[in-house]
Structure 1
């Protein structure tokens, strides 16, 4: 897919990965429609630093179906007619708490994480896909199988989606579900010429990670990643996303950007990992 002249909805587009990806799309002649939770004035001011004319902002809660639908409909009015070619879904939450031996302490957190990270992913993917298809003539209740490429949706999963370590108990499992949503959506949307892929980064310094957890995970990368043993730069993730957009054969694919990190709790280390971990996600 050629990005020039195409528009992409980017959730979490005011964050590190989403913001970097938006700028890369704009640099290639595309349009970036940013969905995020910043207030309207702050969000608009931020995205105008990406580009004064080809970046647009909408305040959106990704777990609010009506809100996502309304913002997407509004986006179709501000971008060039027929230009919507996909979405990059970066928005997520990763709340943390002190590690305890009681699993029930994580139940309420799990419910919140599932609602945003999993239900929100399904909502965003579904609404964007329908919006892409709305730009094409109605072909009946099922639609003819097309041979043209209409678009691509990329969901951000995580290196902790598989295997899921104990310290990412709720967040990791939610990202495992994101991989499942991506695969199912790919099969469903194939006849409409819409590809669906996922990107699984390792540790990326961002507001999602927070300053308290970063040193712990950096130590884990140093101990267990193959190479390089460091956090990922948002641009490295962004370049992976651009590759998936531009290569039309990439579909139903999980791109891991993780330095070969296959994490699990290091019970063989000199210190009990439960004492090192700042929080359980």
Structure 2
């Protein structure tokens, strides 16, 4: 991540408060660390008490405030937001996938609740604070917003919905000075994709479709988030930016 951070002005987010959902691991944690290294006062929320406790003791996470919030609980989100004095950036990175089980009604609803509805809940709960700061929202979508995976219909539907939500909120919140954009990760090495990148056959097949012939890392997403929250992106809103090494436009 050092090269990414060096691209930006030191202290770029000094005095700014950043909230990252799904911030206890994977993509969310990497983005939280990126904002913290550029001076942001970062709050990372997650559901696992074990992960949160481990992060609090981890030196690379120094300076990040970790809080447990159930993103499926509207009352908990509202109460948490009311406890914030200010907010400049909201990163909606909470997400789950339940391969094969997503055809079942309860699992379908759970995946959509975490991946899509929680983004709307956090956006609405923090809207007054973001309007006051003229801040921005960054929603995490997916390459499955554009292509399919037959094993995860709820995940694909939820991440496609993130694109629609991003565009609609950009116009709903725009008059208040709030920008809303989305990042669409491709195949990145996270716990969620571990079964693929640790298996040589699918790992090589996925890398081959990428224009850059490799898997992404969570660090590959950090610079995009920092850019979208920065003054350099001050007239960018309502867009979705694929960060997938060219996977979606490739072919096997």
TM-score, with length taken from structure 1:
0.76
Q: How does 1:86-105 map to 2 (within 5 A)?
A: 86-97=89-100, 105=103
- Give the Cα–Cα distance (whole angstroms) in 1 for the partners of residues 250 and 38 of structure 2: 38
Find the structure with the greater CA-based Rg.
1
Q: How does 1:15-164 map to 2 (within 5 A)?
A: 15-39=25-49, 43-44=52-53, 46-47=55-56, 49-50=59-60, 52=62, 54-76=63-85, 82=86, 84-97=87-100, 105-133=103-131, 136=132, 150-164=134-148
| Maintained 8 Å contact 2:55/2:61 | no
| Residue-pair matches, total | 237
- Give the Cα–Cα distance (whole angstroms) in 2 for the partners of residues 6 and 118 of structure 1: 26
Q: 1:255 aligns with which of 224, 241, 244?
A: 241
Structure 2 gaps of 5+ residues are 1-11
Q: How does 1:188-227 map to 2 (within 5 A)?
A: 188-209=172-193, 211-214=194-197, 215=199, 217-225=202-210, 227=211
- Post-superposition shift, 1:205? 1.7
- Give the Cα–Cα distance (whole angstroms) in 2 for the partners of residues 155 and 217 of structure 1: 28
Partner-residue secondary structure (3-state), 2:88: strand
Two-structure CA RMSD over aligned residues (Å): 2.6
| Maintained 8 Å contact 1:118/1:174 | yes
| Maintained 8 Å contact 1:38/1:59 | yes
Partner-residue secondary structure (3-state), 1:205: coil
1:84-121 per-residue CA deviation (whole Å, 9 max, x = no partner) reads 102111111101238xxxxx944443222112111111
Partner-residue secondary structure (3-state), 1:3: coil
- Give the Cα–Cα distance (whole angstroms) in 1 for the partners of residues 38 and 246 of structure 2: 30
- Post-superposition shift, 1:168? 3.4
Q: How does 1:236-275 map to 2 (within 5 A)?
A: 236-246=220-230, 247-262=233-248
- Give the Cα–Cα distance (whole angstroms) in 1 for the partners of residues 55 and 110 of structure 2: 28
- Give the Cα–Cα distance (whole angstroms) in 2 for the partners of residues 223 and 168 of structure 1: 22
Give the stretch that moved more between structures: 164-173 or 246-255: 164-173
- Give the Cα–Cα distance (whole angstroms) in 1 for the partners of residues 103 and 185 of structure 2: 27
- Post-superposition shift, 1:157? 0.3
User: Would the alpha carbon gap of residues 217 and 192 (structure 1) be closer, same or farther in structure 2, given more than 3 Å must change?
Assistant: farther
- Give the Cα–Cα distance (whole angstroms) in 2 for the partners of residues 66 and 50 of structure 1: 31
| Maintained 8 Å contact 1:158/1:200 | yes
Instruction: Give the structure 1 partner of residue 6 of structure 2.
Output: none
- Post-superposition shift, 1:231? 1.6
TM-score, with length taken from structure 2:
0.84
- Give the Cα–Cα distance (whole angstroms) in 1 for the partners of residues 15 and 94 of structure 2: 24
Bigger share in helix: 2
- Give the Cα–Cα distance (whole angstroms) in 2 for the partners of residues 218 and 59 of structure 1: 33
